Structure 1
């Protein structure tokens, strides 16, 4: 199992994985900068991405193929994303989730109210119209 940055040829496989997990793809950036995949024997089995808003990041599109769960793939993807984010000036990462708040709490994220999120992140398509208002908002400061 290896974690690597995304190249354009991976886009269709990433979309298929996200769709299989009922995650939004309509607003997926054309170029998947700050996206990482986990691969097993050349097959994409996990994905995570981040959108940048100045020194703020929005974690999005985290999915692991059901047959590969409970193998620390998600943890490795989150760790890689946080490492890249911090090394490139991101101070806080935000996310929206309907199903994984317990997981992200264990990874150091805290629950916020939507009005606590900076306007730059709130203006993202994820916040403004892709994710339902019932989705939980969470954040993690990377500056220690």
Structure 2
């Protein structure tokens, strides 16, 4: 498995996120803070960050069903956390409906929407893409 910067894999990323019922309409034009996991010629997984000042919003963590249970999500998450730390960000926020247990095991804690910095709250993910029922989580770096 190889982790690469995501820009040249946009079509594959959109297909994977769509298959996993994750939002694609607000995917940034430039995927400079996104990474993919490659298995041969195929995109096996994807993860991304949106950066807002000193904070990041983790989004679009997905692994192709054919490549699950191989540690790909863990490797992608570690990669993106290292990227955030290298950028001197203070914390990573995320919204999830399906994986709070996974993120808790990775050191994230559940918080309220009110605890999220205003610049992150104003992102499209927070303001209108993800439902109000999504769980909000945080990890300090």
CA drift at 1:134: 0.3
Deviations 1:5-30 (A, max 9, x none): 113x3101100000000000000001
Matching residue of 1:63 = 62
SS at match of 2:24: coil
Quote the offset at 1:67 in angstroms: 1.3
Matched, 1:6 2:42: no
Aligned-partner Cα distance in 1 for 2:38–2:89:
26
Q: How does 1:38-57 map to 2 (within 5 A)?
A: 38-57=37-56
Q: State the 1:33 CA deviation.
A: 1.3
CA deviations over 1:48-80 (Å, ceiling 9, x no partner): 000000110000000000111111100000000
TM-score normalised by L of structure 2: 0.98
Aligned to 1:83: 82
Please report how far the alpha carbon of residue 89 of structure 1 lies from its aligned counterpart in structure 2 after TM superposition.
1.2
RMSD over aligned CA atoms reads 0.6
User: Which residue pairs with 2:123 in the alignment?
Assistant: 124
TM-score, length basis structure 1: 0.96
Aligned to 1:109: 108
- Give the Cα–Cα distance (whole angstroms) in 1 for the partners of residues 51 and 128 of structure 2: 18
The runs of 4+ residues in structure 1 deviating greater than 4 Å are none
Please give the alpha-carbon distance, in whole angstroms, between the structure 2 residues aligned to 1:65 and 1:2.
15
User: What number of residue pairs does the alignment pair up?
Assistant: 141
The C-alpha deviation readout for 1:97-128, integer Å capped at 9, x for no partner, is: 00000000000000001111110100000000
